[in-house]
Amino acid sequence: MSNKKEQYTVKLQVFRGQKLKKEDGTMATENQSVSLQYGTLEWKNYLINAPRNFGVVEVVDVHTAKDVYEDVEIKGKATKIRNIEYTKVDAPKFIINEVKEAFKPKSSKSTETDDQKRIKELEARLLALESGATSTDKKAVNTELEVAKSEYIELFGKKPHHSKSLEIIKTEIENKKKENAGA
């Protein structure tokens, strides 16, 4: 018998969206059973990626695995055969907590990519334009951008990159002014 740490095999039932049952007691929600060995790379990757596709998870059961070696004689030679003996146990709290944490809804700020943030910003601008923003508002923004670009040229001696936003240009100007004041 080996002196390894206890290995857990965890069976999860994951549901797409909310867990709903039909009148006859069968599951109405698309779901699947998954058995994974706790602590493996497969376990970690599953807990990272599955919450994107599934909403609810239940820990169905947990088994411990123990190596058992048998002495067997095969064709006149003594050989040891390794078998794995599974024993059902109550799910340890640390496994339940890790699964709950993985499937807990994340705050929208931490999961948004830069592209998603940019899309939100553009949608907000579009909504502002559709809700009655006048063309003078647009001119004010363009004028502010032109002023920032001219100030950038004075400080850096070159034009800012054409794809830089007003906010980025202002930030770079502020940083350059601080740098010049400190020097």
List, for residues 143-178, the tens digit of each pLDDT value.
788 888 888 988 888 999 888 888 899 999 999 888
- Whether 92 and 12 share a structural domain: yes
Residue 56, classed as helix, strand or coil, is strand
Block residue for tokens 């049952």:
21
- Whether 126 and 159 share a structural domain: yes
Q: Structure pTM?
A: 0.45
- Whether 77 and 124 share a structural domain: no
Residue 2, domain member (yes or no): no
Mean pLDDT of 129-153: 71
Q: Is the pLDDT of residue 98 over 60?
A: yes
- Whether 15 and 61 share a structural domain: yes
- Whether 13 and 101 share a structural domain: yes
18: amino acid identity, one letter: Q
- Whether 101 and 137 share a structural domain: no
Task: Check residue 101 and give its pLDDT.
Answer: 84
Mean pLDDT of 100-105: 80
Residue 1, domain member (yes or no): no
Residue at which a domain ends, from 52, 83, 105: 105
- Whether 141 and 84 share a structural domain: no
- Whether 101 and 118 share a structural domain: no
CB atoms < 10 A from the CB of 12, how many?
A: 22
Task: Check residue 1 and give its pLDDT.
Answer: 41
- Whether 64 and 122 share a structural domain: no
The whole-chain average pLDDT of the chain stands at 79
Most confidently modeled of 13-22, 33-42, 103-112? 33-42
Residues comprising the chain, all counted = 183
Q: Is the pLDDT of residue 2 over 60?
A: no
- Whether 55 and 130 share a structural domain: no
Residue at which a domain ends, from 105, 126, 144: 105
16, 55 Cβ separation under 8 angstroms: yes
Return the DSSP state at 25: S
Question: Which two structure tokens, joined as six digits, stand for 51?
Answer: 């919450």
Q: Is the pLDDT of residue 118 over 50?
A: yes
The per-residue DSSP string of 84-143 comes to EEEEEEPPPHHHHHHHHHHHSPPPHHHH--HHHHHHHHHHHHHHHHHTT--HHHHHHHHH
Domain housing 146: 114-182
CA distance 103 to 101: 6
95, 38 Cβ separation under 8 angstroms: yes
Task: Check residue 117 and give its pLDDT.
Answer: 78
- Whether 15 and 77 share a structural domain: yes
Mean pLDDT of 74-100: 83
Residue at which a domain ends, from 105, 134, 149: 105
- Structural domains in the chain (count): 2
Share of the chain above pLDDT 70, in %: 83
